[in-house]
Amino acid sequence: MGNVTGIGASILRKEDLRFITGRGNYVADIKLPGMTYAVFVRSPHAHAKLLGVDARAALAMPGVLAVLTGADMKADKVGGIPCGWGITGKDGLPMKEPPHPAMAYDKVRHVGDPIALVVAETVDLARLAADAVVVDYDVLPAVVGVLEALRPGAPAVFEDIPDNLCCDWEIGDRAATDAAFAGAAHVARISLVNNRLVGNPMEPRAAIAQYERSTDRTTLYSTSQFPHVVKLLMGNFVLGIPQHKLRVVAPDVGGGFGVKQFHYAEEAVVTWAARRLEVPVKWVSERSEGFVSDAQGRDHVTEAELALDETGKFLALRVSTLANMGGYLSTFGPNIPTNLYGPLLAGVYTTPAIYCEVKVVFTNTVPVDAYRGAGRPEATFVLERLVDVAAAEMGIDRVAIRRRNMIPTTAYPYQTPVMMEYDSGDPSGCLDRALAQADWDGFPARRAEAAKRGKYRGIGLATYVEACGLAPSRIAGRLGARGGLYESATVRVHATGDVTVLIGTHCHGQGHETTFAQIVSDKLGIPADKIEVVFGDTDKVQFGMGTYGSRSLSVGGSALAKSVDKVILKGRKIAAYMLEAGEPDIVFEDGKFSVTGTDRSLRFDEICLAAYIPHNYPLEVLEPGLEEQSFYDPVNFTFPGGAHVAEVEIDPDTGSVQLLSYVAVDDIGTVINPMIVAGQLHGGITQGAGQALCETAVYDDASGQLLSGSFMDYAMPRADIMPNMKIITHSTRCTHNDLGVKGCGEVGTIGSPATVINAVVDALSPLGITHVDMPAAPNRIWRLIQAARLPKAAE
Amino acid sequence: MQGFTYHRPASVADAVALLRSTGGTGIAGGMSLLPVMKHRLATPPALVDLSGVAALTGIAASGGTLSIGAMTRHVAVADSAVVAAAIPALASLAAGIGDPAVRNRGTIGGAIANADPAADYPAAILGLGATVVTDRREIAGDDFFTGLFTTALAPGELIVALRFPLPLAAAYAKFRSPASRYAVVGVFVARFADGVRVAVTGAAPSVFRVADMEAALAARFAPSAIAGIAIPPDGLNGDIHAEPAFRAHLVGVMAARAVAAASSVAA
Amino acid sequence: MELTLDINGRRIKADVPTDMLLVDLLRERLGLTGTHVGCDTSQCGACVVHVDGVSVKSCTMLAVAADGARVTSIEGLSGAGGKNSLHPMQIAFHENHGLQCGFCTPGMIMSAIDFAGRHAAPTEADVRHWLEGNMCRCTGYQNIVAAILAGTAAMHAAAATSSLEKV
Asked if the C-beta of C149 comes within 8 angstroms of chain A's C-beta atoms, the answer is no
Question: Residue A78: its pLDDT value, please?
Answer: 97
Residue C140 contacts residue A722 (beta carbons within 8 Å): yes
Q: Please compute the mean of the pLDDT values over residues B83-90 and round it to a whole number.
A: 98
Residue C136 contacts residue A202 (beta carbons within 8 Å): yes
Q: Please compute the mean of the pLDDT values over residues B128-143 and round it to a whole number.
A: 98
- Read off the pLDDT band of B265 (50, 70, 90): low
**Fold type of domain B5-165:** 3.30.465
Taking residue A390's Cβ as centre, other Cβ atoms within 10 Å add up to: 24
User: Residue A524 forms beta bridges with which residues?
Assistant: none
Phi/psi for A750 (5° steps) reads -80, -45
pLDDT at A743 over 60: yes
Residue A495 contacts residue A613 (beta carbons within 8 Å): yes
Q: Which residue on chain B is closest to C112 by alpha carbon?
A: B100
Q: Which residue on chain B is closest to C110 by alpha carbon?
A: B101
What stretch of H or E contains A316? Answer: strand A314-326
Residue A384 contacts residue A460 (beta carbons within 8 Å): no
Q: Which of C127, C134, C125, C132 is nearest to C152 (CA)?
A: C127
Residues of chain C with Cβ-Cβ distance to B49 below 8 Å are 62, 64-65
User: For residue A397, with 0-12 CB atoms within 10 Å meaning exposed, 13-18 middle and 19 or more buried, which class applies?
Assistant: exposed
Picking from B175, B180, B249, the nearest residue to A712 by CB comes out as B180
Whether omega for the bond prior to residue A775 falls within 30 degrees of 0, making it cis, is yes
- Residue A146 CB contacts under 8 Å (≥ 6 apart), including other chains: A299, A301, A322, A323, A324, A359, A361, A363
Question: Residue A75: its pLDDT value, please?
Answer: 97
pLDDT at A746 over 80: yes
pLDDT at A155 over 50: yes
B169-266 maps to which CATH number?
A: 3.30.390.50
What stretch of H or E contains C122? Answer: none
- Read off the pLDDT band of A2 (50, 70, 90): very low
First to last CA, chain C: 46
Phi/psi for A522 (5° steps) reads -60, -45
Q: Please compute the mean of the pLDDT values over residues A200-211 and round it to a whole number.
A: 98
pLDDT at A4 over 70: no
User: For residue A133, with 0-12 CB atoms within 10 Å meaning exposed, 13-18 middle and 19 or more buried, which class applies?
Assistant: buried
pLDDT digits (tens, 9 = 90+) for B38-57: 998 999 999 999 999 999 99
CA dihedral (B151, B154, B156, B160) in degrees, to 10, reads -60
What stretch of H or E contains C39? Answer: none
Question: Residue C165: its pLDDT value, please?
Answer: 62
Question: Under an 8 A CB cutoff, do A719 and C131 touch?
Answer: yes
Question: Under an 8 A CB cutoff, do C114 and B6 touch?
Answer: no
Picking from C40, C55, C67, the nearest residue to B100 by CB comes out as C55
Question: Residue A165: its pLDDT value, please?
Answer: 98
Taking residue C120's Cβ as centre, other Cβ atoms within 10 Å add up to: 8
Question: Residue A5: its pLDDT value, please?
Answer: 87
Rounded Cα–Cα distance for residues A670 and A650 (Å)? 38
Taking residue C28's Cβ as centre, other Cβ atoms within 10 Å add up to: 15
- Read off the pLDDT band of A3 (50, 70, 90): low
Q: Which of B133, B141, B136 is nearest to B160 (CA)?
A: B133
| Secondary structure E strands in A127-239 | 134-139, 165-172, 186-194, 206-212, 217-222
Question: Residue A376: its pLDDT value, please?
Answer: 98
Residues of chain B with Cβ-Cβ distance to C64 below 8 Å are 6, 49
Rounded Cα–Cα distance for residues A232 and A224 (Å)? 13
Question: Residue A792: its pLDDT value, please?
Answer: 64
Q: How many helices (H) and strands (E) does chain B have?
A: 11, 14
Q: Please compute the mean of the pLDDT values over residues A286-295 and round it to a whole number.
A: 98
For chains B and C, CB pairs below 8 A equal: 75
pLDDT at A793 over 90: no
Rounded Cα–Cα distance for residues B13 and A553 (Å)? 67
Question: Under an 8 A CB cutoff, do A510 and C100 touch?
Answer: yes
Neighbours of chain C (3+ CB pairs under 8 A): A, B
Phi-psi region of A509 (alpha: psi -120 to 50; beta: other; left: phi over 0): left
Question: Residue B230: its pLDDT value, please?
Answer: 94
- Residue A679 CB contacts under 8 Å (≥ 6 apart), including other chains: A511, C97, C100, C138, C139, C140, C143
Picking from C56, C67, C115, the nearest residue to B104 by CB comes out as C56
What stretch of H or E contains A749? Answer: helix A747-764
Per-residue pLDDT of chain C (167 residues; tens, 9 = 90+): 999 999 999 999 999 999 999 999 999 999 999 999 999 999 999 999 999 999 999 999 999 999 999 999 999 999 999 888 999 999 999 999 999 999 999 999 999 999 999 999 999 999 999 999 999 999 999 999 999 999 999 999 999 887 766 54
Picking from B5, B51, B101, the nearest residue to C133 by CB comes out as B101
Residues of chain A with Cβ-Cβ distance to C137 below 8 Å are 200-202, 255, 257, 683, 687, 716
Give me the helix-helix angle, B244-264 and A778-789, nearest 10°: 90
Question: Under an 8 A CB cutoff, do C33 and A201 touch?
Answer: no
Picking from C75, C129, C138, the nearest residue to A22 by CB comes out as C75
pLDDT digits (tens, 9 = 90+) for A32-79: 999 999 999 999 999 999 999 999 999 999 999 999 999 999 999 999
Q: Which residue on chain B is closest to C1 by alpha carbon?
A: B6
Query: Residue by residue, what is the 3-state secondary structure of B105-119?
Result: HCEHHHHHHHCCCCC
Question: Residue C163: its pLDDT value, please?
Answer: 73
Rounded Cα–Cα distance for residues B182 and B126 (Å)? 18
Give the residue, C161 or A195, on which the prediction is more confident. Answer: A195
The pLDDT mean for chain A works out to: 97
Q: Which of A100, A88, A477, A110 is nearest to A299 (CA)?
A: A110
pLDDT at B162 over 60: yes
∠ Cα A109 A112 A116 (to 5°): 95
Question: Residue C167: its pLDDT value, please?
Answer: 47
Question: Under an 8 A CB cutoff, do A710 and C41 touch?
Answer: yes
Domains of chain C with bracketed CATH:
2-76 (3.10.20.30), 88-166 (1.10.150.120)
pLDDT digits (tens, 9 = 90+) for A667-697: 999 999 999 999 999 999 999 999 999 999 9
Domain boundaries, chain B: 5-165, 169-266
Picking from B1, B179, B241, the nearest residue to A779 by CB comes out as B241
pLDDT at A795 over 80: no
User: Nearest C-alpha of chain B: how many angstroms from A715?
Assistant: 4
Residues of chain C with Cβ-Cβ distance to B8 below 8 Å are 67
Q: Which of B192, B187, B198 is nearest to B164 (CA)?
A: B192
Instruction: Please provide the DSSP assignment of A421-449 as one string.
Output: EE----HHHHHHHHHHHTTGGGHHHHHHH
Sheet holding B25-27, edge to edge: B5-7, B46-49, B25-27
User: Residue A464 forms beta bridges with which residues?
Assistant: A642
Question: Residue A437: its pLDDT value, please?
Answer: 98
Residues of chain C with Cβ-Cβ distance to B3 below 8 Å are 17-19
Question: Under an 8 A CB cutoff, do A124 and B1 touch?
Answer: yes
Q: Do strands A114-120 and A36-42 pair parallel, antiparallel, or not at all (unpaired)?
A: antiparallel
User: For residue A444, with 0-12 CB atoms within 10 Å meaning exposed, 13-18 middle and 19 or more buried, which class applies?
Assistant: exposed
Q: Which residue on chain A is closest to B178 by alpha carbon?
A: A715
Sheet holding A592-595, edge to edge: A586-589, A592-595, A601-603
Question: Under an 8 A CB cutoff, do A722 and C128 touch?
Answer: yes
With b for 16 or more beta-carbon neighbours within 10 A and e for fewer, the A725-749 pattern comes to: bbbbbbbbebebbebbbbbbbbbbb
pLDDT digits (tens, 9 = 90+) for A331-385: 999 999 999 999 999 999 999 999 999 999 999 999 999 999 999 999 999 999 9
pLDDT at A720 over 70: yes
Distances in whole angstroms, Cα of residue C137 to Cα of each of A255, A337, A642, C143, C146 = 8, 24, 23, 13, 17
Global ipTM: 0.98
Rounded Cα–Cα distance for residues A591 and B236 (Å)? 73
- Residue C160 CB contacts under 8 Å (≥ 6 apart), including other chains: none
Picking from C94, C131, C138, the nearest residue to A20 by CB comes out as C94
The pLDDT mean for chain B works out to: 96
Task: Tell me which residues of chain C, numbers 18 to 47, contact chain A at a CB-CB cutoff of 8 Å.
Answer: 19, 27, 31-41, 43-44, 46
User: Residue B107 forms beta bridges with which residues?
Assistant: B73
For chains A and C, CB pairs below 8 A equal: 178
Asked if the C-beta of A700 comes within 8 angstroms of chain B's C-beta atoms, the answer is no
Q: Please compute the mean of the pLDDT values over residues A445-466 and round it to a whole number.
A: 98
Phi/psi for A281 (5° steps) reads -125, 130
Q: Which of C4, C20, C8 is nearest to C61 (CA)?
A: C20
Residue A474 contacts residue A643 (beta carbons within 8 Å): no
Rounded Cα–Cα distance for residues B11 and B54 (Å)? 7
What sections of chain B are H helices per DSSP? Answer: 12-22, 33-38, 74-79, 81-86, 88-95, 100-105, 108-114, 121-128, 141-144, 211-219, 244-264
What percentage of chain A exceeds 70 in pLDDT? 99
Question: Under an 8 A CB cutoff, do A654 and B178 touch?
Answer: no
Distances in whole angstroms, Cα of residue C119 to Cα of each of A525, C127, C148 = 45, 9, 11
Question: Residue A496: its pLDDT value, please?
Answer: 97
What percentage of chain A exceeds 90 in pLDDT? 98
pLDDT at A1 over 80: no
Query: Residue by residue, what is the 3-state secondary structure of A62-125?
Result: CCEEEEEEHHHHHHCCCCCCCCCECCECCCCCECCCCCCCCCCCCEECCCCCEEEEEEECCHHH
